[in-house]
Structure 1
Amino acid sequence: MTERGPESVDAHATYVFAVCWNPDPSVFVGLAGVTDVASVTTLPLQKLTAIVQTVRARDFTDEAWQARLSDQRELERYARAHHDVVTAAAACCPTVPLPMATLYHGEQRAREALASEADRFHAALERIAHHVEWGVKVYVPPCPPDDPVRSAAPADRSRPAPGAGLAYLDRKRGVQERRERIQDEALTAAETVHSEVQLLATAARRLRPHGVQLSGDPRIQVLNATYLVAEHRADELALLTQSLQERTGVQIELSGPWVPYSFVGEV
Structure 2
Amino acid sequence: MRQHDAEVPDANATYVFAVCRDPDPSSCAGLPGVTHEAPVRLLALDSFTAIVQTVRARDFTDEAWQSRLSDQRELERYARAHHDVVSAVAAACPTVPLPMATVYHADERVREALAKETDRFRTALKRIAHHAEWGVKVYAPPAATAATDDADRRTGRPVVPTDRARPAAGAGLAYLERKRGAQRLRERSQEDALRTAETVDEQVGRLATVSRRLRPHPQPSTDRRVQILNATYLVAEHRSEELALLTRTLRERTGAEIELSGPWVPYSFVGEV
Q: TM-score, normalised by structure 2?
A: 0.90
Q: Which residue of 1 aligns with 2:96?
A: 96
Question: In the TM superposition, what is the alpha-carbon distance from 1:256 to its structure 2 partner?
Answer: 0.5
Residues 63 and 4 of structure 1: CA distance in aligned 2, closer, same or farther (over 3 Å) = farther
Of structures 1 and 2, the larger Rg is shown by: 2
Please identify, of 125-134 and 235-244, the stretch whose mean Cα deviation from structure 2 is larger.
Answer: 235-244
Give the 5 Å matches for 1:10-25: 10-25=10-25
Q: Distance in 2 between matches of 1:4 and 1:170?
A: 68
- Residue identity in the other structure for 1:237: L
Contact 1:136 1:253 (8 Å CA) reproduced: yes
Please identify, of 25-34 and 121-130, the stretch whose mean Cα deviation from structure 2 is larger.
Answer: 25-34
- Residue identity in the other structure for 1:265: G
Q: Distance in 1 between matches of 2:73 and 2:146?
A: 42
Q: Which residue of 2 aligns with 1:243?
A: 249
Please identify, of 116-125 and 76-85, the stretch whose mean Cα deviation from structure 2 is larger.
Answer: 116-125
Q: Distance in 2 between matches of 1:57 and 1:250?
A: 51
Question: In the TM superposition, what is the alpha-carbon distance from 1:152 to its structure 2 partner?
Answer: 3.4
- Residue identity in the other structure for 1:243: T
Give 2:209's match in structure 1, choosing from 187, 202, 206.
202
- Residue identity in the other structure for 1:33: G
Q: Distance in 2 between matches of 1:80 and 1:144?
A: 41
Q: Which residue of 2 aligns with 1:28?
A: 28
Unaligned stretches of 5+ residues in structure 2: none
Q: Which residue of 2 aligns with 1:78?
A: 78
Count of paired positions: 265
Contact 1:4 1:60 (8 Å CA) reproduced: no
Q: Which residue of 2 aligns with 1:2?
A: 3
Q: TM-score, normalised by structure 1?
A: 0.92
Q: Which residue of 2 aligns with 1:191?
A: 198
Residues 146 and 49 of structure 1: CA distance in aligned 2, closer, same or farther (over 3 Å) = same
**Percent pairwise identity:** 67
- Residue identity in the other structure for 2:156: A
Give the 5 Å matches for 1:144-163: 144=144, 150-153=150-153, 155=156, 157=158, 159=165, 160-163=167-170
Please identify, of 68-77 and 95-104, the stretch whose mean Cα deviation from structure 2 is larger.
Answer: 68-77
- Residue identity in the other structure for 1:84: D
Runs of 4+ more than 4 Å apart: 145-149
Unaligned stretches of 5+ residues in structure 1: none
Residues 137 and 206 of structure 1: CA distance in aligned 2, closer, same or farther (over 3 Å) = same
Contact 1:152 1:167 (8 Å CA) reproduced: no
- Residue identity in the other structure for 1:239: L
Q: Distance in 2 between matches of 1:40 and 1:188?
A: 48
Contact 1:133 1:258 (8 Å CA) reproduced: yes
